Structure 1
């Protein structure tokens, strides 16, 4: 009998890699993935309606007793590319390393995001086998290009919007159960994203006439571009506590040691001190208290002895809740302070709306966490640092959350989008229990 772990490994072995250039995507891998889903989860495909959007995204509907306030469970099929030489095991030959509680499946997508996708299907398949029917409709939304364009999720939202579907709860990938992320906190925390930062790319371009590198001008295009990048680096965006971060600190305050408990409990007075401290505590803490901007790609002349007629830098910007694309772009212009540097905004999206961390939907999530992931786990709102397909669903729901029900170590989180991505087997199977509990709790 095929076990859940064997099904998981089979799906991890299919290289559903997404690329920024759609021409580089192997569509046959996604076709193979779809065929495998239909074969491995026969009850899901017998009892749920399924439609395909934008080529490969898959939207399932599990009819319940009522169509009002449905639950949407999200995950994405695609994974990021790999550099195989960096891996200890082949990334698309899922390998179990270790024994007992340390046994872990090593493969691209083990966490991001086939771990959630397969756990959801395992939960639904098992509930169907038990004869369960949900009280409200359930949708499974599995995008195929979350790592790049994300328009697969957008197409699914368009379809739901046209039908007047207004979900009462949407859950996508996001935070996890973690230890020690918040300084001084000893209890494990389930970090549920109630909002995510906006994202945009700003292309900086410096131009000149070009010519031979043996006779450079006083300030060539490359030097002007470097100066612009340096000014952005030396003048970071101001730090502040956005509402989701305030809510996170207030939630964990009772579990923090002194003097942190007092600091987190009285943010009306202590916010300036807390925000300055967070700004000095490393990349993750800095990223939740300010908009970030970093140059990620550079280009110049085509030859070593040629002056660049245009020198370019792509700057990746993540907007803190409360900032806007327009305001951030204007500040970047002021900081660069060089009218000869052209700024072109690409792929811009505003920060998401903030979902409530009170009410029925939030309590439903917290119950599932406590019942399946540990009674000592504190469920807390937080501001998600990365972007996800969930941003599309904020158009049709006010209750959009980002949480992956896995207890992850720091090294496991660091392996996302890197080499040796992995998930412990018992951690993954507990995630199946979380989705079962969430589906069964109306």
Structure 2
């Protein structure tokens, strides 16, 4: 029988890459993934009911002694594309690099998000094989297009709604076990997302009549667009401490050195100062205290000697709790202050509701962290910076959380959606223990 690590590596080798343009997707890789999961986890598939939803998402039900108040664990099958030449190893080779505690599996999806998905499978397989039956039903929801449209997750939510199922606890990918994220705080913290920012894209368009680049007008479309982008950059959204961030800082305050400890214990008075300091303390800290906006895709003329008849930019905006798509759009319009620049909302969703960081659901997560990852790890609320499939599940549960039970260094976090994504073997194996503990208490 193969080991957990070898099963993990086999599933990492399947290139389940998602693309916004679905004609580019190799659906055979997803079918192979489904087949491999069934083959590698026979006890799980003997005990759990399995459904394929929206073509390639997987929804499992593990019947417990009581069908009420189920636990729902989420992960996603798909991974983002790779640029092969940027990697130091085959991105789908799942090679183990290093030895001992430094041994790490290098592969696209090692953390995002097959690390969690396979750890969940391992925990369930072991418990089923050991004869365990959960006290309440358990659902596993594995989406197939989280990195693009999220249609699989939405379809699974519709299935649950149609059946009147409201999970008592939903857990998806999210914050990890980290250290040093908060300036001056070195204690390891389990960052459990209780909410996530909204996400939207604005399309900015400047137009002109076009012509030959040898006779440009005084203010061409490209210059007008550049000015608009510059105005957005020079007038960022204001900083503020939203409730999940306030709670995070209050939780870690006892572990902070002076004078930071006093600042964090008196946020009612020092909050504006703390937010202003965090905004200057790096990209992650800036993103938890303000709505962010950045130009990403740019397009102009089709040739280097042609004037652009239209110059376009995509403006990606991540909305802080309390902000809205409508409000952010109007603010960008005021900041650009140019009626000639067209502003179109391409897509957008408001920030998620905030789940409570007190009560039974929260205690279950915190206890699983303590038992599986160590008493020294402090569990704290956290505002998730990126969007995930979990936002769709707020329609069926008031207790939706986002946590990846792996201790990740800054370099490992930076490799997400980049080259050389990797996870240390020992760290991944400890993550299985977290899911096993959470399931055992269900």
What TM bracket, shorter-length normalisation?
over 0.9
Q: CA deviation at 1:346?
A: 1.5
The correspondence of residues 20-39 of structure 1 with structure 2, limited to 5 A, is 20-39=20-39
Q: Which residue of 1 aligns with 2:143?
A: 143
CA displacement 1:341-371 (0-9 Å, x = unmatched): 0011012000000000000000000000000
Q: Which residue of 1 aligns with 2:289?
A: 289
SS at match of 2:263: helix
Relative to the length of structure 2, the TM-score reads 0.99
Q: CA deviation at 1:216?
A: 1.2
Relative to the length of structure 1, the TM-score reads 0.99
CA displacement 1:136-177 (0-9 Å, x = unmatched): 110000000000001100000000011000010000000000
Gaps of 5+ in 2: none
Match status 1:19 vs 2:47: no
The correspondence of residues 350-361 of structure 1 with structure 2, limited to 5 A, is 350-361=350-361
Q: CA deviation at 1:112?
A: 0.4
2: CA distance, partners of 1:172 / 1:41 = 21
1: CA distance, partners of 2:354 / 2:402 = 11
Q: CA deviation at 1:210?
A: 0.9
Q: Which residue of 2 aligns with 1:166?
A: 166
2: CA distance, partners of 1:186 / 1:234 = 33
Q: How many residues align?
A: 442
2: CA distance, partners of 1:297 / 1:85 = 22
The correspondence of residues 44-59 of structure 1 with structure 2, limited to 5 A, is 44-59=44-59
1: CA distance, partners of 2:301 / 2:106 = 41
Q: Which residue of 1 aligns with 2:317?
A: 317
Q: Which residue of 2 aligns with 1:246?
A: 246
Q: CA RMSD in A?
A: 0.6
Q: Which residue of 2 aligns with 1:304?
A: 304
1: CA distance, partners of 2:84 / 2:222 = 34
The correspondence of residues 338-349 of structure 1 with structure 2, limited to 5 A, is 338-349=338-349
2: CA distance, partners of 1:82 / 1:178 = 26
CA displacement 1:72-107 (0-9 Å, x = unmatched): 000000000011111111011110011111111011
CA displacement 1:272-291 (0-9 Å, x = unmatched): 11011001101000000000
2: CA distance, partners of 1:273 / 1:292 = 19
The correspondence of residues 28-427 of structure 1 with structure 2, limited to 5 A, is 28-427=28-427
SS at match of 1:131: coil
Q: CA deviation at 1:331?
A: 0.2
SS at match of 2:176: strand
Q: CA deviation at 1:32?
A: 0.3
